[in-house]
Structure 1
Amino acid sequence: MKDEESDNRLGSYLRARRELVSPAQAGIPSGGNRRVPGLRREEVALLAGISADYYLRLERGRDKNPSPQVLESLARVLQLDDIERTYLLGLVAARPRAPRRKQPEHVPARVHELLAHLQIPAFVEGRAFDVLASNPMAVALSPRLRPGQNRLRSLLLDPEEQAFHQDWTKATADFVAALRTTIGDDTDNPRFVELVGELALSSERFRTLWARHDVRSLDGGTTTVHHPVVGELRLHRDKLAIDDVILVVYYPDKDSDSDEKLRLLASLSHTESAGTAHERPADIPDPKTP
């Protein structure tokens, strides 16, 4: 991500956000000769109480140290929520740092033990949504939750994963915004560079969402998915930080229709696993056969 965007993250963010605020939302009468989809620079400056020249310097990266008061005013004009406002303030608060050693993400042994004991879909993901470990129920829920898969790549590029989500449009928007939040000022992280580069080349949906500069937290929540065998499932999601990785669990409301379907899925998964375990190559005789 060594490009114009990473060199001028504040300006890129301000520009992207003002293009998403309509004149009507800002209380400005819209004229018939507007050439920009959102607010003009001059309008943002006027509403924020700063000079147009100063705002231009901010967008073009000539001034990278605006005061907190200026940033708060801009956050108000751009109608940022708490997460977006915190992200904006962080773009200026970030200071040059020494290069960090890139340690491989590691799943503690105790987490592998925990996964083996959980009877609900559970897996471990890294900061870039790489699946690092998972239990059988997670794989039964979605084969894309096997270790080695990347959840965002699957969501954007795998037709089966797209059909799996009831609201794929919202899911992609949430994931891409969460990725930008996670990256923060770690823009030289090789894994982030690789993933963003790959998706920018292969997914128009990703390019569109990435250009919006949305930031969002993707923690707890509820989602509805369409499983090809048991049908629709309404599941809650929780994320628990363990060391440098995240444990993700999905679970239904107790005694709900989704709870029954998940138990059915567990039974089918167990039967299939048992059948596979007892399969024997044709050239090896069964010891029980006389």
Structure 2
Amino acid sequence: MVNFLISVYNLYQLAGNTENIEFRFLIYGVISQYSREHGIPVFLARSLYQKYLIQRDSFKKLDESYIEGMELLHYISYLHVDERVMTYYKLGSHALFRGCHEECIHLCKKGINEDHKRDELTAKAYLAIIIAYIELRDYILAKVYLDAYEQLDCLNVQKESQYLRAILYAKTTDDIEKAVPLLLDCLHMRPQNEKLPVVNDLLDIYIRLGDELGVVDIFQSESSFLPTNVDTPNQCTHLGLYFRAKGNFYIEKCDLDMGCASLLESAMYYKKMMKLEEAIKSIGYIFEYYTANKENLPFGILQKMEILYTVHNT
């Protein structure tokens, strides 16, 4: 048994020193399979942990990696405390992205309970909990955790808390137009790659208020807030949401070229993350318009839909 453990340890060290990510993932897979079959929970936990950290960065494997990450929780006691905290935080943010808000709250709270560093990772966990409570419309607990978040001595706490206070103000008062200047201040404080979530909230308020000038102003200034590098699932989600709102707005104004192009772009971003129901929803608005007006879909739009379908299935 000792020789087996030494061999597994050496293989684990080899994986950690391997630069090729695919090869490293393959080695961790071998270790996890062998450890599961031979009852070596320490290396099963470590290899599952490393596999999860690699796989969760893949747009096309977000659901698969989440399921495997949840398996890791069965062996989490075999990880070092820092790895346990990281696992809870990573899975918590992953759950938030998938819309599993209660799981997000549960996981992040477990991480906070074991985390004694109170650093940037802690702050992100608090943010995830606050956003999850907002999505669940539990604004009282959202405010409770926002108060706790503001006590953290971490970078960007003031910036993020101001943004969340503005969102809560919009959600909990009838006077939602007063949230607009607060969100505009938040927008000016952020670098370009972080502006889009704030823009989407502004857009939602302008649409609810019927402020078409505000909506158009956003669309005409999008070069100042669209991310220059799209490399996270969160960015793709907000891009899908943004272009869906833009598409619906212009379709309602009978600007079909702009409307359809935007909805197809929305579907593209959702498809990139394998959120196929959301992609279909964006495309569905195009069909709804042409069906309601008893018009045939233009051939050009059908071609673009075919390209979208072909790319997904290759």
Question: Normalising by structure 1, what TM-score?
Answer: 0.26
Kindly indicate which of the two structures has a greater share of residues assigned to helix.
2
Q: Which has the higher contact order (CA 8 A, sep 6+)?
A: 1
Kindly indicate which of the two structures has a greater share of residues assigned to strand.
1
Q: Which structure has the larger Rg over C-alpha atoms?
A: 1
